[in-house]
Structure 1
Amino acid sequence: MRLKMKFLWTLQLGIIIISGCSKKSVVSSSSSEYREDLAAVRPRYDYVEPSFEKSETPTAPKANNIPKTNPDRPLYVNKKLETVLDTLAKHNKSIRFINGFRIQIYVGNVRQEADGAKSYIYQAFPDLNPYVSYSQPTYRVKVGDFMYRSDAEQYLELIREQYSSALILADRVDIKRSLMLNPSADSN
């Protein structure tokens, strides 16, 4: 029985090896091109040459091509446009805050140090507004209302002389105060 099993295994292995070595035929895509005549299903259009009737009397161009407006409602489009623009202007004036940047100069648990950082900003940079926030037990002092990060970076270099750990943070800033800042002015 064992001999018979070994013989069957050898025979199966030989068949697998021989079938693996046999030459395989691959059908190439170029020899089996798809051809079908679609002329019967294509739509057909007959071209008809347009005919123009020539009138023998020449026509003069119209002298008045300006559209007439209704005298009861003159310039009604302008009135509608002005009302829409007025509502947009009112809406824009009501916006007080935008996404901008502030410089954080102090984070800690000591109120006197936070007040000291605030008073330093008042003295050294009177055009910047300091903001002190308290979230138990931490005081944070942020400075300025910058619309652009590049403006904040100019002040950051000057503030880092006193507060080396100062960094720029994204924050909601007051538009009017951010427009009053002059980052090109050097403060001491």
Structure 2
Amino acid sequence: MALFPIITIATLLQFCAPSASKTISNSSYSEDLSIYRKEYKEDDITLDKDTKETPIEEVRITAPAPSHDIRVELDSITNIIVDTRKDVNYVDGFSIQIYSGNSRDQANGYKSRAYDLLENQRPRVIYDQPNYKVKVGEYYSKLEANKDYNTLKKTFSRAVLIPAKIQIDN
């Protein structure tokens, strides 16, 4: 008895399913657009090569003077910003830290191994009491540091990309 309603519903759903149309049309599309074309008379078209071109007069248009010029105010604001930024000698960036521990010998060993991997970078040992840290490179963005980070990560599993202040040379 319970089987009859299931079969009935399945049959009804089968007839409700969309079917793909398989009709193929062999007719081609054509439309006459000649009524929209502009017609030219022979008088409008000049094909004479003997005609000399007349020189075009140069017209100079002078722009009106601005009535609400704020250039002076912008210059003064820019000067204030430049004056306040003169004391800043660094920019925010990133560095790769490959070692942090209390052994100076291990720190120097990590430094020499990092120098062998990346000859274009200068690894440095920093003593931040009571730990020695080995940092490699100065990068302005994470994307810039990514190549060297992946190279160091293969050898130094504890390599970390850390925020750093990059000194600006004046």
TM range (shorter): 0.3 to 0.5
- Work out which of the two has the higher radius of gyration on C-alpha atoms and give 1 or 2: 1
User: TM-score normalized by structure 2?
Assistant: 0.47
